[in-house]
Amino acid sequence: MSNVQQETFEIIAKQAKIEIDTIKPESTLKELGVASLDAIEVIFDIEEHFDIQLPNEDADFDNGTVGQLVAAVERQIATKKSTE
């Protein structure tokens, strides 16, 4: 598990008040019991933690998986590093 995935899972677990072991890359935030408003908070926390800005299309709360979210975070980190 990458550091980005681990840290993203930790943020989701804290926000959803669930055990980190219950989070799988194929899980959706909705399946994990994260309501829409809480999902927005998760995204804000992730953006703040990694100092990135996630495009709206990467924040699909209903259908997007946690794995897709991690991949989006990794893309933004890579983009940020390439422009520094």
How many angstroms separate the first and last alpha carbons of the chain? 26
Q: Domains along the chain?
A: 3-83 (1.10.1200.10)
* Residue 40 tokens, joined: 């927005």
Residue 84 pLDDT = 74
Please tell me the predicted confidence (pLDDT) of residue 67. Answer: 94
CA–CA separation, 16 and 74 (whole Å)? 22
- For 1, residues 6+ apart whose C-beta sits below 8 A from its C-beta are 9
pTM, full prediction: 0.88
Average pLDDT over residues 48-57: 87
**Do the Cβ atoms of 7 and 52 come closer than 8 Å?**
no
